[in-house]
Amino acid sequence: MLITLFVVFNVDTNTLKHFCRFLMHPLDVGSPTACSMYTGKELCRFLKKRRERDEALSILEIGAGSGSVTREIIKEKQDKDLFVAVEKDKGFAKSLKKEFDQINNVSIDCADILDWEPVQDGCFDCIICTLPFMNECISFDGIRNLFDDKFPRWLKRDGVFSFVELSLYGTIARGWLAVKNFCRNMLSPILGPAQLSEYEQRLEYMDRIKEENIFHVELVKNNTPDIYVYHACFHG
């Protein structure tokens, strides 16, 4: 039935691969659809800008999945640039290796980003990340470890960290949080101050990260569903 739908709507094999992995590991994959080419291009915005300096670039992609964003990065990559993609899912990593491993200075690492380290700190010009931070594929401690330590440490001082958030998902999660907070405030004289759940702390933490570090944001409408692309700097 599903296969027939995909054939009728002329869905390509990468979309199908992404959707099947989503059915198997919904939390890790995070979204039933892969990022569109337009999202990939937006994620490469500062990679293109950095290119103006005419020096070899070092790029890290996190959560490469079925390779929709990887393909856009590879279009921008020059021979001298170094590109590393980290993907936790073995099936995705295998097909990424098949497609990209033979390109000069490209390596595909099948690893959990929480256990991964680059050969050297402060080496990346750009980190492009499509991990679904808003769902619980990575623990809150893991997220803090990435944003408080790893990402700032791995980037060059003027390096750019680009990441995504599904617009609908963010709106629903924040709407729900606002309703809960309203009810809590109403009930606090009777019940006393309430503890925030881990998910609420994660939401607040991500909002603070955005507030403090983002210098450019775009809503990409040519993506199913709409997606925000954020560009951040961690060193002022």
Ligand X SMILES: C[S@@+](CC[C@H](N)C(=O)[O-])C[C@H]1O[C@@H](n2cnc3c(N)ncnc32)[C@H](O)[C@@H]1O
Binding stretches for ligand X (CB under 6 A): 18, 28-31, 34-35, 62-66, 68-69, 86-89, 92, 112-114, 130-132, 137-138
Q: How far is the CB of 223 from ligand X (least distance, A)?
A: 9
Q: Is 166 exposed, middle or buried (0-12, 13-18, 19+ CB in 10 A)?
A: buried
Q: How far is the CB of 107 from ligand X (least distance, A)?
A: 14
Contact 228, 218 (CB under 8 A): yes
Task: Cite the DSSP H helix spans in 57-214.
Answer: 68-76, 90-100, 140-145, 151-154, 167-191, 198-213
**Among residues 137 and 196, whose Cβ is nearest to ligand X?**
137
**Among residues 69 and 229, whose Cβ is nearest to ligand X?**
69
Helix, strand or coil, per DSSP, at residue 186: helix
Q: How far is the CB of 118 from ligand X (least distance, A)?
A: 14
**Among residues 72 and 125, whose Cβ is nearest to ligand X?**
72
Q: How far is the CB of 70 from ligand X (least distance, A)?
A: 7
Q: Please state the separation of Cα 167 from the chain's center in Å.
A: 13
Q: How far is the CB of 62 from ligand X (least distance, A)?
A: 6
**Among residues 66 and 162, whose Cβ is nearest to ligand X?**
66
For strands 155-166 and 227-232, give the pairing.
antiparallel
**b/e for 199-219, b at 16 or more Cβ within 10 A?**
ebebbebbeebeeebeeeeee
Helix, strand or coil, per DSSP, at residue 62: strand
What is the rounded CA–CA span in Å between residue 225 and residue 172?
A: 13
Q: How far is the CB of 195 from ligand X (least distance, A)?
A: 27
Which amino acid belongs to residue 232?
A: A
**Among residues 89 and 125, whose Cβ is nearest to ligand X?**
89
**Among residues 143 and 209, whose Cβ is nearest to ligand X?**
143
**b/e for 44-80, b at 16 or more Cβ within 10 A?**
bbbbeebbeeeeebbbbbbbbbbbbbbebbbebbeee
